[in-house]
Homo-oligomer: A and B are copies of this chain.
Amino acid sequence: MVREVAEKQDVIPLLGEVFRQHGFSGTSLSQITLRTGLGKGSLYHFFPNGKKEMAEAVLDDVEEWFETHVFSNLRNNENPKAGIKQMFADVDFYFCSGNRICLLGSFALDDTRDQFATRVNTYFTSWCEALADTLKRNGLAPKKATDTAEFTVASIQGALVLARSQDDPKVFTRVLKCLQNQLIG
């Protein structure tokens, strides 16, 4: 770290990296110290409730990014097709073209989910609903729009899993392209 005095705002992205790498239960405070350059003293100064509060701060950060970039664009873009196209561009950017996993997806798979149940649920629900709204405005029947949105969000998550399993981010790019074709051909 360059600065001697850290700011919480600068630490959160680094925490996100550590949690993405090791998972929540696989992340130890010593690994956090390694990545952030902050000792336990500083970490507990910023996050009095320890590791769980650190993860919550990261999840807040993730939610805010998706709300600002993805969800609000889906809801507010007057051109549904353009909104969907923009979603795929943002998603590709955020997940670094398949080189980055989804922290909420990672938390969802084991019992970490239960510690962050509301956040995990809300993130995916918001995404599905915002996309379903856009699909309706693009002419899909309500039920069809809901199902298609759910299917799309699921496939994006699975593409991240499969890309990592093969250690090949191109898998993610291919699935994204296929999904975009299905939605706005």
State the majority secondary structure of interface residues on A. Answer: helix
Q: Report whether A166 and B26 are in contact in the complex, using a CB–CB cutoff of 8 Å.
A: no
Given A26-B23, A109-B105, CB of A150 within 8 Å of CB of B165: no
A151, A160, A165: most-surrounded residue (chain B CB, <10 A): A165
Considering only CB atoms, which chain B residue lies closest to A158 in the complex? B158
**A53 on interface, CB distance cutoff 8 Å:** no
Interchain nearest-CB distance for A31 vs B (Å): 10
**A178 on interface, CB distance cutoff 8 Å:** yes
Interchain nearest-CB distance for A92 vs B (Å): 15
**A14 on interface, CB distance cutoff 8 Å:** no
Q: Report whether B178 and A162 are in contact in the complex, using a CB–CB cutoff of 8 Å.
A: no
Interchain nearest-CB distance for A12 vs B (Å): 19
Interchain nearest-CB distance for A84 vs B (Å): 18
Closest 6 CB pairs of A and B: A158-B158, A25-B26, A23-B110, A157-B158, A154-B158, A108-B165
